[in-house]
Amino acid sequence: MSEESPEPTNPFDFLLGDLMKTLTSSGINAQDFIGQFSLLPVAEAEYEANVDPLERVKYEQLFELAQLHVSNIDLLSGTAVSKAKLELVNPRKLVDVLTRAWSPYISTLSESLAVSSGTLPAVAGIDEDNPLSAIMSQLGSAMSPMISGAQIGSLLGHYCKEALRAYELPIPMADLSKVVVVPYSISKFAKEWNVDHDQLVLWLLVQELTVTLILGLEDFRDNFDLQIRLHLADMRADVHAMIEKIQGINPADPEALQAIFSDPTELIGNEMTEAQRINYANIEVTLIVLEAALNLVSRRVATALFGEYFLIDEASRRRQLDGPQAKIIMGRMFGIDISARVVELGSDLAAFVTDKKCEAELSLALNNHEHLPTPGELDDFETWLTRVKLQS
């Protein structure tokens, strides 16, 4: 008769054994946890309320006005301004929109994190002869998809909870026809900064329409898409942070497991890999050119429509630099770090284009990535302009 394994003597032994069976037998899918956890931050009624019909009419009127003025900007000539359609969503609906739109990138990210996690080492403090040792040494590896999925989902939900528009992080989306904004969050932002609500709506509609049109340019979109995918493919999980969180689980605390998912910053390492640093130099160029285009278009339209725009411009700039933490972390995770340098150089490039009257050359750069500034030319826009003129 074979010798039976000894019965567990600690309630935590039963929990770990059953948890391991669940994790190893059911096939943990990070996407499932992303979907579940992304909805938690926007589960309250205020984030699910429908847009008021009268407010919808007002937005449609302002959107038509924004389209009319954007269509007269030479920089965006040739883009499908008239085909863009306005979509108003609440924060809860924005989660659905971005989960679908970002699905290819999220899949790449979760796969990269899972691969880099590998098999976690045994947990310190447990004797190797203890039956729990083998279980705990496998627990981190088995939980890795769950941890990464839950943290990505939670981060996405918190981002959507405060986002003003879909392209606040300019991550390319397959649907190029919709201009998506969030009236609930826009109203809240207008009150916080004490700015005219309708002027802010127009400003944001112009910005969202501009990004939608630029990312609708095939060469620009494809080049940016490749840059983001390269960044995500080299993403690495912070294995040591995972281990520390698992070690910190208190079996007597029902909220112990929730602590594992509480800090998205611990999901990835603080430092870029060498490959990511090289690639980010190119991403930064793309972000600076996009920022310059936004500056040119939104300021020109704002001047035509309501003259003084300093407060709205400053509020937007502060939001970019010091805005919601979820947005900043999410952006860095995707390689889209809208830093002070990006904002400053984007403003400088816009001023340079205006001063040199070289909007046509910037338009060439938007339509052909070979005409984008090189990382070295960011310190000397004259060099970039001379090269583009010679090439065109």
- Give the mean pLDDT of 105-133: 63
CA atoms within 13 A on the CB side of 125: 7
**How would residue 280 be classed by pLDDT, with cut points 50, 70 and 90?**
very high
108 three-state secondary structure: helix
111 or 333: which leads in pLDDT: 333
**How would residue 64 be classed by pLDDT, with cut points 50, 70 and 90?**
very high
Q: Is pLDDT above 90 for 365? A: yes
Specify the residue for token string 């630099």. 321
The per-residue DSSP string of 17-53 comes to HHHHHHHHHTT--HHHHHHHHHHGGG-SGGGTPPPPH
**How would residue 161 be classed by pLDDT, with cut points 50, 70 and 90?**
very high
**How would residue 1 be classed by pLDDT, with cut points 50, 70 and 90?**
very low
| Cα–Cα distances in angstroms (integers) from residue 148 to residues 103, 151, 236, 324, 388, in the given order | 15, 5, 11, 21, 43
Distance between CA atoms of residues 155 and 320, nearest Å: 17
**How would residue 279 be classed by pLDDT, with cut points 50, 70 and 90?**
very high
**How would residue 210 be classed by pLDDT, with cut points 50, 70 and 90?**
very high
340-356 helix and 381-391 helix, angle to the nearest 10 degrees: 60
Q: What is the pLDDT of residues 301-337, one digit of tens each?
A: 999 998 889 999 999 999 999 888 899 989 988 999 9
Find out whether 34 and 99 touch, Cβ atoms under 8 Å: yes
| pLDDT at site 323 | 84
Q: Is pLDDT above 60 for 126? A: no
Residue 385 token pair: 């302009």
Residue 210 token pair: 């501009």
Residue 27 token pair: 């096939």
Distance between CA atoms of residues 251 and 122, nearest Å: 18
| pLDDT at site 261 | 54
The residue type at 205: L
Task: Tell me what the pLDDT averaged over the chain comes to.
Answer: 84
Residue of 213, 117, 108 lying closest to 167 (CA atoms): 213
CB-based burial of residue 236 (10 Å sphere; 0-12 exposed, 13-18 middle, 19+ buried)? Answer: middle
Phi, psi of 294 (to 5 degrees): -60, -40
Report the Cα–Cα distance between both ends of the chain, in Å, rounded.
86
